[in-house]
A and B are shown apart, each in its own frame.
Chain A
Amino acid sequence: AQSVSQHNHHVILSEAASLELGCNYSYGGTVNLFWYVQYPGQHLQLLLKYFSGDPLVKGIKGFEAEFIKSKFSFNLRKPSVQWSDTAEYFCAVIPMNSGGYQKVTFGTGTKLQVIP
């Protein structure tokens, strides 16, 4: 079965620091990749997604992620974090096989705390 690994469970950064959250998956075929964010007290929402094309994708609020197929990775980055980026971040993967429905697999999440 496929799996998604997020290596950092809890990250604490000062404002203006750069951020990189790791995400690796185990599936060998074509995948769609997502990062979701959950701000305190709010529901999960999409941050960015990759389907095909340019492996560097840009999302909302200055976030970007790079798909590196050879490394099975989809790391999330932001050059300069803000206090408002404090949230929990989830990486998610769905195989894009032709054979019927495939379910989304989530990583365990990374809690980001940004200190003013």
Chain B
Amino acid sequence: SAVISQKPSRDICQRGTSLTIQCQVDSQVTMMFWYRQQPGQSLTLIATANQGSEATYESGFVIDKFPISRPNLTFSTLTVSNMSPEDSSIYLCSVEDQSGELFFGEGSRLTVL
């Protein structure tokens, strides 16, 4: 198992600003992901954070809007850029073991006014 720490746990932001969410894992992991959990919807994969290379984005998500860093095997950041109220959501960091089991951080609840 893995213990994942995310910060901030919540924030209220103004439209047009950007926020960076940090994710720290207590062990080295290969697969690290960023999900979005919007009210009433399923978890949606934003991207896979690749160590040492550009993140792999899912359909509907682009690097300019959601830049991701992964400087090492225990840390990643997700930035939500030029925010609008539609970006209000919970953003989750996750890591995966070889069986496909996912371990999640507590999430970062973002409210954009």
A/B pair count, beta carbons within 8 Å: 44
Contacts A90-B42, A108-B41; A43 near B100 (Cβ below 8 A): no
B contact residues around A103 at 8 Å (CB)? 45, 48
B53 at the A interface (CB under 8 A): no
Which residues of the other chain, A, contact B92 by a CB distance below 8 angstroms?
A: 43-44
Q: How many residues of A contact B (CB 8 A)?
A: 23
Residues of B within 8 A of A4 (CB): 42
Chain B residues near A32: list those with CB within 8 A. Answer: 99-101
- A51 in contact (CB, < 8 A): yes
Mark contacts of A93-108 with chain B using CB atoms, 8 A cut-off: 1 yes-contact digit, 0 otherwise: 0101000011110111
Q: Taking CB as reference atom, which chain A residue is nearest B4?
A: A43
0/1 interface trace, chain B 23-50, chain A, CB 8 Å (1 if under): 0000000010000000001110100100
- B96 in the interface, Cβ–Cβ < 8 Å? yes
**Contact residues of A with B, CB < 8 Å?**
4, 32, 34, 36, 42-46, 49, 51, 90, 92, 94, 96, 101-104, 106-109
